[in-house]
Amino acid sequence: MYRHVPNYDFVIDSPVGKLGICIHDRQLARLDYLPDARQLQPATTRFGQRVCAELEAYFSDPSCRFTLAVAAAGSSFQQRVWQALLGIAPGNVMTYGELAARLHSGARAVGNACRNNPVSIVVPCHRVVGVAGPGGYSGKTDGPELERKCWLLQHEGVSVKPLKSA
């Protein structure tokens, strides 16, 4: 099956693997996890270097907050969910159900919006978890995707298993 592969503005290494980053009009538009074999590609613009610096700061100190402008394309509901994610502070989590209640929606709809978040880490969908554990990440409930979510949560000081009693 053919899948469109974005033309990344730069590719960096991080503790959670290679990250491909797209920018548009000095705004972060996309952040993708890439295979380890992907060649690094340095940021050549001032904004790209700022994106790198903010990601490096977060990976050094999880309490760092991102200040990047984001241009994530999505439906109005997805935009509402992604905006709400920005209000979850590092080291804190919210369940899919709690976030859904806050947005007057359903937990599955929130999960789908999180799954389609094009700028994970910066818009912290990893801070939304299941009632009895980490839930999923990038639409997966195991494998490298979930390992990344658990790493990000542990990096922020969140105990991953179990997060809440059922």
- CB environment 47-74: b (16+ within 10 A), e (fewer): bbebbbebbeebeeebeeebebebbbee
Catalytic position from the list 22, 64, 114, 125: 125
What pLDDT shows up at residue 57? 98
Which pTM does this prediction carry? 0.90
* CATH number of the domain encompassing residue 96: 1.10.10.10
What's the domain count of the chain?
Answer: 1
Full residue range of the structural domain in which residue 81 is found: 76-155
Please give the residue that has the higher pLDDT: either 42 or 141.
42
**Peptide bond preceding 162: is omega within 30 degrees of 0, i.e. cis?**
yes
Q: What count of Cα atoms within 13 Å lies in the side-chain half-sphere of residue 8? A: 19
Catalytic, 114? Answer no
Phi, psi of 8 (to 5 degrees): -75, 140
Domain assignment present for residue 161? The answer is: no
The pLDDT of residue 80 is 96
For 141, phi then psi, to 5°, come to: -110, 10
Any domain includes 165: no
- pLDDT (0 to 100) of residue 124: 97
pLDDT (tens digit, 9 = 90+) per residue, 90-149? 999 999 999 999 999 999 999 999 999 999 999 999 999 998 888 888 777 778 889 999
